[in-house]
Structure 1
């Protein structure tokens, strides 16, 4: 398989930002759907398969449908992410689930340092701290500790770990495969796993109304095709640890859409949280460094270490 075409760092960051905003809309569509949580998770990926198959066929032809280890692994991780996310929503408060799910950049950074041998600069650490503070501010006072919610809180933490695995698997897969192929194969894997979960856990898979069905189609097209597809494209150019910070915007996107469409007005604290996330991304952004050679190597807040 040939190497995927590369994007510039700036363009890759823009693409990841759009993907994060699209994924943040998923909360809105899940609320509007009239099926159970595991059914909505299944339809999210199942309804995305036809447009993803078309994209894959146009981009890479028949070879796009060949499964590969990293794409299959990414699909399994994303199935775990959606499974535990819905368990967290059912077992704890939405605020707790959101806070714990947004710890995924911590796991991604830890993996990047310990396994991928990347060095995290002081700017990268400051950016991470600002983004975490911003996410906490967006949730606001709704976050709380309750021993009765521990199982749900644990599921929220598992959500973060599984999303980190998905994020890193896609990032590694992009070294050899195109975004369309990875997104299709991983989504098909997720759909198969979640179908088995939904058949066991849900009384019915079918939406009860036209509006509910429309919400599921929007969930598939916007959050899965758009969000996951853009993420796979952007990760070809952006280091995983920095890319993870961009996905803090998913929380900001959900808050803004809630204010605009669900009558959940933003508070001053939440507005400050969004500003902190933006500040963290700016602080940790990849920077070009001076070098003696005529063509200096790229450097980021997350620099490659020795292997």
Structure 2
């Protein structure tokens, strides 16, 4: 009986890890395709509004199907959906592009990915989950790896306003992992959370674009990808269907399975995928420093995984058949938290 539960938990964890990596790869593809649109005259706000808007059109019907008429769940989790859509989707994207206006892309990305530290701090403050030494070591290794991968010491441009926007983006990233990983007996299905959350984000972004709060601009020129000339809508379709709908959909499912902390660190692989795709599609070959940074990131992921496993064993999760495994985001709490 116990061996069956352990096998099922191991398979669930493995599936969750795979889904988070697939999500990271999908998110990582956005850079190359967005760059092609920006070079053709699009503004960052225009790119993200189309990306989130069309992704919402795809996932909202899926969310309705996943809910299967259980509208009471949507009412009970309205706060989680609004937080996901307003902070993790619209707010994070809006803050990041504001940071890019006054900071280099590398520094803005590094600030955003400090959200992994926010997740560890949130789990400690909200759920009393004190990070182990291995988890803290994973934080250090992952941040050090990001510094090398993003090569932030090459022509750094510092603006305090940009730093503030970058830190707000970090909160948005942390909110994505925390809201995705939060699960209780009345939770929304993962695809419902992703779909309705994207719907909220799309409404906010369209509203911000329409009122001039963000600098919205598009173009209908052909774009260059991997040395080939393609229609502008091809890049938009990739950003909406792959880098948003697929990325958010499988990302929420994977985060539910492995927990917010592990997913947030494994999500750092998005940077590695972005570098690899930039090499394949834009002929931007990563250097040895970036490769070394990638190894540090992977080391950080392993350290966090080992740290979380050690904590679960020490606390004694008491998992039984049909319950969530110890690595769920709420495992430190004795009762589900609304």
Q: Is the 8 A contact 1:74 1:167 kept in 2?
A: no
Q: In the alignment, which residue of structure 1 is the partner of 2:20?
A: 16
Q: CA deviation at 1:298?
A: 5.0
Deviations 1:126-155 (A, max 9, x none): 1221111111110125455545x3322322
Q: Residue 92 and residue 26 in structure 1: after superposition, are their counterparts in 2 closer, same or farther (change >3 A)?
A: same
Q: Is the 8 A contact 1:95 1:142 kept in 2?
A: no
Over the aligned positions, Cα root-mean-square deviation in angstroms equals: 2.9
Counterpart selection for 1:231 from 251, 256, 272: 251
Q: Is the 8 A contact 2:266 2:301 kept in 1?
A: yes
Mapped pair 1:289 → 2:331: no
Q: In the alignment, which residue of structure 1 is the partner of 2:262?
A: 242
Deviations 1:196-239 (A, max 9, x none): 22221335456444622211111011111111111110122222
Give the TM-score taking structure 1 as reference length. 0.87
Counterpart selection for 2:282 from 262, 275, 280: 262
Aligned length: 301
Counterpart selection for 1:134 from 136, 141, 145: 145
Q: Which moved more, 1:190-199 or 1:47-56?
A: 47-56
Q: Is the 8 A contact 1:289 1:298 kept in 2?
A: no
Q: In the alignment, which residue of structure 1 is the partner of 2:5?
A: none
Q: In the alignment, which residue of structure 2 is the partner of 1:3?
A: none
- Unpaired runs of 5+ in structure 2? 1-8, 223-229
Q: CA deviation at 1:13?
A: 1.5
Q: In the alignment, which residue of structure 1 is the partner of 2:133?
A: 122
1:301 & 1:278 partners in 2: Cα distance? 21
- Unpaired runs of 5+ in structure 1? 1-5
1:66 & 1:304 partners in 2: Cα distance? 23
Q: Is the 8 A contact 1:198 1:205 kept in 2?
A: no
Helix, strand or coil at the partner of 2:130: strand
1:71 & 1:302 partners in 2: Cα distance? 17
1:53 & 1:153 partners in 2: Cα distance? 34
Instruction: Give matches, 1:124-163, under 5 Å.
Output: 124-143=135-154, 145-147=156-158, 149-163=159-173
Q: Which moved more, 1:74-83 or 1:283-292?
A: 283-292
Q: In the alignment, which residue of structure 2 is the partner of 1:26?
A: 30
Give the TM-score taking structure 2 as reference length. 0.80
RCO higher in structure (CA 8 A, sep ≥6) = 1
Q: Is the 8 A contact 1:99 1:143 kept in 2?
A: no
2:234 & 2:298 partners in 1: Cα distance? 32
Q: Is the 8 A contact 1:120 1:301 kept in 2?
A: no
1:162 & 1:172 partners in 2: Cα distance? 15
Q: Is the 8 A contact 1:75 1:186 kept in 2?
A: yes
Q: CA deviation at 1:273?
A: 0.9
Q: CA deviation at 1:266?
A: 0.7
Q: Is the 8 A contact 2:259 2:328 kept in 1?
A: no
Q: Is the 8 A contact 1:174 1:235 kept in 2?
A: no
Q: Residue 292 and residue 83 in structure 1: after superposition, are their counterparts in 2 closer, same or farther (change >3 A)?
A: closer
1:116 & 1:204 partners in 2: Cα distance? 43
